[in-house]
Structure formats: C-alpha cells, structure tokens
Amino acid sequence: MCGEARGTFWEAYVSFLSLRRVSILRGMSSSSPKKQATGRQIGTFVLALVLALCGGGALMAGIALPFVMTMGTTANAVTGIFDDVPEDLGFTEPSEQTVLLAKDGSVLARFYIENRINVRSDQISQHMKNAVVAIEDRRFYEHHGIDVQGTVSALVSNLTSGGLSGGSSITQQYVKNALLEEGRIADDNEKIKRATEQTIARKINEARYAIAVEKTMTKDEILTGYLNLAQFGPSQYGVETAAQRYFSKSAKDLTVVEAATMAGITQNPAQWDPVRHPEANTERRNVVLGEMYRSGFITEAEMKEAQATPIESYMHVSEQAAGCGSAGISAYFCEYVVKDLLNDKALGATRAERTRQLYRGGKVIRTTLDSARQQHAYDSVVTHQPVDDASGIDAALVSVEPGSGHIVSMVQNTRFGVPNETDTRMTQVNVTAPQDMGGGAGFQSGSTFKIFTLVEWLDSGRSAYDVVDSSEGLLPQSSFQASCTNLAGEPWPVGNLGQSNRPRTVLEGTRMSTNGTFAHMAQKLDLCQIANKAQAMGVERGDHEPFDIVPPMILGTNNVTPLSMATAGATLANDGIRCDPMSYTSIEEHDGTVISERKPQCQQAISKETARKTNAVLQHVVERGATGEKAALRGRPAAGKTGTSDKDWHAWFMGYTPQLATVTWQGHMEGNISMFDSVIKGEYHSEVYGGLYPAMMFSDYMNAALAGQPAVPFPQPTTPMRRPAPATQAPVTPSPSPTPAPAPAQPAPGEPGAVPPEAVHEGESNEEYEEVEIVEE
C-alpha cells in the first residue's frame, strides 16, 4: 500500500500542476469566495491524503510540505475535478430488517442480511449525535464536507507514529458507507471493491461526493444518514438496532454513558464490541466522554460520573437472531409464512426481488398467528406426546378460523433445525403443510375422510337416518361407480374388526365409524364426486397430485395434509364456504404505509344446507360412548371425526366449533410406521387411534383457545333431520338366508386393502345408539 501511495504521490503532484494550468484556461481565478474556500480545502486534502495513505517518511514530508503550505494560491486548480458531481446523488435507501409480527404485535422473527432499523432524526438521542460528532468529527458543523484540519492532523500523526489514521469527516464516512451499501444491495462486487479499496482515487471520489452531499443535505440529515448506516458491532448496523441489542431500548432513549459506549465502537466494531470486550470498550467509552467534555457537550462532573460507571450496570443485552430458527415454537409457522411471502407478487415482481425485499426491504409482515392460542396448541400437543418421548412418535396441531382462513395455530412436537446425529428430534419439515410450503407428502387420514362420503350422501338428498347394509366382506370393484376413471382390480376386503354386521343408520355408522356402513354408502354414490367434494372443501395431497380414485379412498388412503383437513373443517363450520388458508394479513413499510392488504379468499364449496346437516351428524361423534368422546368440549357444542389409518400408521382428530376448526395428528413423519404396541409417556398401548391422544389434544387446546368466548350453537338445517316414523322408514333387505353367511376372512396385518375401523371404547356397546335422533330446536 505504502509503495503504491509513494508512486501515486508523484502522479498526484503532476496532476496538481496540470490542474493549475487547466484552472487558468477555465478562468477559475474569478471564482466566488465560497468556491475558493472549498478549493483550498480540496487542494490541501489531495496532497495531505497522499501522505496519510503512505504513512510517513521525512523525505516525503519534506517534498510535500511546501505544496501544502502554498495550497492557498493554487487550490482552485483542483476544484475542476469536482465540477461533474451530480447535484442529487440519490443514494439507495439502506437495507433494513424485515419483521414478522404475531396478531398481537409481538415479534415472531426478523430477517436481514444487515441487521438494521432505519430511524428519523427525532428518534435518535441528542446524546448519541453529540457523542459521534465529538469522537469522529469535531468540526462537523463548520466544514463543507472535508475536514482539512482533521486530514492534516491525521497526516502528522501518520508521519510521527508510522500508523495509519483516517481523518475522514462524518460526511465522507457517510458517503463511503452509502456507496458500500449500494454495492451490497445490488450484489455488485465491483461496486463494493471501489467503495472499500485503499486508493487515492477512492478518497478523492469520496471527497467529491461529500461536497455534493453538503450542497443537498442538511447537517442533521447527513448525521442521521451516517448513524443509520454505521456499523456498531458484529452484525449490528445502525444506531437503533445497536441500542436495542446492547441496552434493550430505543435510540431515542440513550443516556450519555450509553451513547458514548456506542459511539466508541464504529472505528473498530470487533475490537470495541461491548459484549465480547467490555474492558476494551470501557477504555474507549471514556475517551469518547473526554471528547464530549472538550467539545462542550457535557460538563466535567457529567464526564467523571459517566467514566466511573461500570459497564455491566447498564448493559441489558437482547439477542436478535435472524430467521425462523429464532421463532421458538412458532418456527414452523414462520417458515410457512416465508414460503407464502416468496410466492406473493405484492412483495416483488420476481422471486429474486421478493427475496431481496424480505432480507433487505425493511418490511413489516402482520401474520395471523394468535400467540396465546399458539402456546395453548403447543402445550396440548407435548402434554400428550412429549418432544423427547422414548416412543419417537411425532404429533402436530393446526387451527384455522372459519370465515377468514386465518391460521391461528401451527405446532408440532419437534425442534426446528437441520437434522443431526445428536438430536433426532430436530427437523425443518412442517408436518402440517404441503411440500411446496415446507412440509411433506401428507399422511393417510383414515376415517376422518369418511366426512366427505357423508357430505356427498347428504348433498344427494339422502338422509342421515337411511338404514344401510354395514356388513364386512369382499366388495367387487364393479360394485362402485367412478365417472372420472375406470375401476379395475381385485375385490376390496372391508372389515369391521369387532363391530357387528347388522344394518344401521348413517348416523349410527358415523358415530361409531363403522367401515362397512361407509363402504356400502359409497356403493350408492360416485367416488369421483366424493373426491370432488373433498377437494372443493380444501383437502389436498401434500404433493398436490390428484387423489387416487379407488374404493379404499373413502377410508382415507390418500396422503393429505393436516392443514387442508382443518380447512375442510372450517368450511363445514362456515356454512359450506371455504376460505383458503392465510398466514398473513398485510405487508407494510416500517413507517406503517400499507403495501398490500390481503383479504380472505372464500367461495361456496358445498351448500349451506348440506354443511348444516353434516354438522348435525358430526356433533354426535363427540358424545359419550362414541369414537370421539374424549374430544368433547366443556360447555359448548363441537363436531368432529376421528381417524386411524391402516395398522395404526397415523391417528387423527378433525373437529370444530362455529368459531374455530382444528386438526390434530399423531404418527411418524417418515411415513407409514405402525404404532401398535407403543409405550407413550411410559404407558403401554396395544393400539394408538384417533379417539385417544389426538382427541385429547383437540379437547385441551379448544377448551383453552375458546375460554372466555360465548358458546355458539351450530345453525340448524332448514329441513328438519328427524328420524322417519317406522311406517315410512325404508325397509331393510333381509339376508338371503336366515343365518347370515360367514364373513370373508379379514386380511392379516400388512395385506393390501386391510383398513381397520375406529377402535371401540372398552365397556361400550355398538348396539346402544339405535334410538338416538337429531332433534331440531
């Protein structure tokens, strides 16, 4: 560097003489007094700069000093270099952190490449401004962009000590930081290099820009710009972020000693970091306080009091980690929001621009997450399926608001992060969401999918009191209808696993989740229409592929996501109107300006009457003696459906009230792994099914989430759903033989097509529900 600077000295000298000749030709000797003064500053700066960069040497000093001393008569020559500086530099707005807020305004996560919060002048303590001026540029309010005295002082210091001090004014530092920031924002390495290279050309360019800045900005604007750009420690950019980091307060509230602590950092952010090097920072802080006293900003008594203050007495460090990893139990929801944002053109025309806005744009994202309900959700899940339980079973809960689609809770019993050998409970996969939103392929939903056969049954004009053959057996593919595909293959073996083969009403079959009932219902319907109903209500596979249209699908053999099932529950709760899931409501600038406000995207998926009839039936699932009795809520009506997939791979409960729809899931995120013979929380379970832990998770969460809210009844259907009188009830076709034929052998575990019914509670009879009816108010 020094060799380069020495060589460049002679270039600067020759250029200086040439510029004098140019100035005569241009007639610059008749310039205004102000321009002459600026010219003298520039001329002195140019030659002093050469030696400041070089760092010393008596010979160089002897050569240069005469030119420095006579600069007043020749300085105007240099000003020609500065004539082409634009009046309005138009620096790019500095990068700023984007923040995700919960519904109550609390911070979920921050996103940044440079951790910065831009603030106005009136949001910065005067003590902070004074401290920076005192230590960085005492003549800031006197010069016109270049502090000649400071530059010469730096030169003398370099000549005598052999060191390298800067001497740059605050305006020059502002220019340097602004140009560097422009390069970073543009991801332009060449711009970054030009803004940081140790060359005379760069210093002269900064001086040119500094003079232009002083013509277009006030001193306070320049100082505010500098304080927003400067680095105040590792990953701490700008005065507001640093104040929050070190003192857990805003920059406008900084005291004298706090301001001095921060002002001392900027020249060497690593060495004077008050967190890692408190002793070094204390020494530096005291230097700043001394300069504040000499500059007249504080009294001697104030200086001494501040210098005697232990740094640990006022440091209140706040961690400000970036990204969703800092969101705690809301990390998976946070990742979902990020995926959602990067698909939203309101944030930018291209994905690259949207990414830039997320990490540099300083946006405020107001999400739909309810912090209190989120905590209730997490507590309900880990209470019944702890994170580090020896069973290794995963569990999750997602909750959606009917009428808006707002996702209010989204949790799972894993730790967010990259999986590793030392922590098998760590993952970044959101088990409630589809693949393109950070999730997986979904899971077999078991009997929760029976809801859509029920919906199609009622929508076709049939009744919940229709009596249906509910026997188990081999059902030929040809006995089913599918208008959108051709069915072929082996007969489908349907088993009731312990429940009787007698005919029963649709209502009773739903209450006890009898497989045979729904298999024979499906024979009277179109499988494609059942699938269409599910899709219309929001259900989707995790990979967004079409459903496999086969008879077993009515018992939940397609892999679907918990979020989409919660959307379907919210559709039923909302009179058949489906609202797409929504993770945030608005994108704003930090000053509150709204860029984009999202409205619920809703449409009628099924008729109001069908939804209300379905709700009337599903309310009986949570009654005593039914499969979902453990999901019953205290003092308020609820509806829902249990679900357990083949071989207890996955257990579900999907339930809702008019105010909230929630799905709970339990299983293994890796795929279809049986939960037979599981030990959960030290308790052995031969089976794990939807009516057990998922139902209890639902109940615990909903009771807490709806506490204090009115118990809202479900609206009744327009057409009463009363049990027909015996005389008008459709006759049941008797068996061909007075003695029922033996049922085909149930497939052994592992055989294709074996789908168990819901587990029946011990001590409860499946025969007890024949007289229950839906009563209209």
Grade residue 199 by pLDDT with cuts at 50, 70 and 90.
Answer: confident
Residues 453, 468: Cα–Cα separation, whole Å: 13
Bridge partners, 641 (sequence order): 654
Q: pLDDT tens across 293-306, in order?
A: 999 999 999 999 99
Bigger pLDDT: 207 vs 336:
336
* Distance, first Cα to last Cα, the chain: 91
Bigger pLDDT: 147 vs 328:
328
Residues 678, 307: Cα–Cα separation, whole Å: 64
Pairing of strands 584-589, 594-597: antiparallel
Q: What is the 3-state secondary structure (H, E, C) of 496-536?
A: CCCCCCCCEEHHHHHHCCCHHHHHHHHHCCEHHHHHHHHHH
Tell me what pLDDT residue 765 has. 30
Tell me what pLDDT residue 269 has. 95
Tell me what pLDDT residue 442 has. 97
Residue 652 backbone dihedrals phi, psi, to 5 degrees: -135, 155
Per-residue pLDDT averaged across 176-181, rounded?
A: 95
DSSP states of 590-626 as a string? TTS-EEEE----EEE-S-HHHHHHHHHHHGGGGSTTS
Per-residue pLDDT averaged across 166-179, rounded?
A: 90
Grade residue 759 by pLDDT with cuts at 50, 70 and 90.
Answer: very low
Tell me what pLDDT residue 40 has. 52
DSSP type of residue 406 = B
Tell me what pLDDT residue 82 has. 55
Per-residue pLDDT averaged across 41-62, rounded?
A: 48
Q: Would the pLDDT of 37 be above 70?
A: no
Tell me what pLDDT residue 200 has. 82
685 by Cβ neighbours in 10 Å (0-12 / 13-18 / 19+) ranks as middle
Tell me what pLDDT residue 147 has. 84
Tell me what pLDDT residue 60 has. 44
Task: Please count the residues of the chain.
Answer: 777
Grade residue 247 by pLDDT with cuts at 50, 70 and 90.
Answer: very high
Task: Show the beta-strand stretches assigned E in 314-430.
Answer: 363-367, 394-400, 407-412, 415-416, 426-427
Tell me what pLDDT residue 725 has. 56
Which of 35-39, 73-77, 743-747 is the most confident on average?
A: 35-39
Q: What is the number of other CB atoms lying within 10 angstroms of the CB of residue 718?
A: 9
Q: Which 3 state secondary structure label does DSSP give 559? A: strand
Residue whose C-alpha is closest to residue 627's, from 650, 647, 646, 655:
655
Which residues make Cβ contacts (< 8 Å) with residue 30, sequence separation at least 6? none
Put simply, whether the predicted model's pTM sits higher than 0.95 gets the answer no
Grade residue 614 by pLDDT with cuts at 50, 70 and 90.
Answer: very high
Q: What angle do CA 727, 732, 521 make, to 5 degrees?
A: 120
Q: With beta carbons less than 8 A apart as the criterion, state whether 409 and 398 touch.
A: yes
Mean pLDDT in the chain? 86
Domain spans, the chain: 1-84, 115-146+162-322
Per-residue pLDDT averaged across 394-398, rounded?
A: 99
Q: What angle do CA 369, 373, 378 make, to 5 degrees?
A: 100
Which stretches of 361-488 are DSSP H helices?
A: 371-384, 450-459
Residue whose C-alpha is closest to residue 342's, from 117, 587, 561, 104:
587
Structure tokens at 238: 């700008």
Per-residue pLDDT averaged across 162-170, rounded?
A: 66
Tell me what pLDDT residue 84 has. 59
Residue whose C-alpha is closest to residue 245's, from 178, 155, 320:
320
Per-residue pLDDT averaged across 299-318, rounded?
A: 98
In angstroms and rounded to an integer, the radius of gyration of the C-alpha atoms of the chain is 37
Side-chain-side CA neighbours of 494 within 13 Å: the count stands at: 27
Residues 182, 173: Cα–Cα separation, whole Å: 14
Q: pLDDT tens across 655-705, in order?
A: 999 999 999 999 999 999 999 999 999 999 999 999 999 999 999 999 999
Pairing of strands 363-367, 584-589: antiparallel
Residue range 115-146+162-322, CATH number = 1.10.3810.10
Q: Would the pLDDT of 448 be above 80?
A: yes
Which of 19-23, 424-428, 628-632 shows the lowest per-residue confidence on average (mean pLDDT)? Answer: 19-23
Q: With beta carbons less than 8 A apart as the criterion, state whether 207 and 146 touch.
A: yes
Tell me what pLDDT residue 161 has. 53
Per-residue pLDDT averaged across 143-155, rounded?
A: 77
Above pLDDT 70, what percent of the chain?
A: 79
Residue whose C-alpha is closest to residue 1's, from 247, 137, 198:
198
Tell me what pLDDT residue 4 has. 45
Residues 309, 286: Cα–Cα separation, whole Å: 10
Q: Would the pLDDT of 248 be above 90?
A: yes
Grade residue 149 by pLDDT with cuts at 50, 70 and 90.
Answer: confident
Which of 86-95, 116-125, 154-163 shows the lowest per-residue confidence on average (mean pLDDT)? Answer: 154-163
Q: What is the number of other CB atoms lying within 10 angstroms of the CB of residue 688?
A: 25
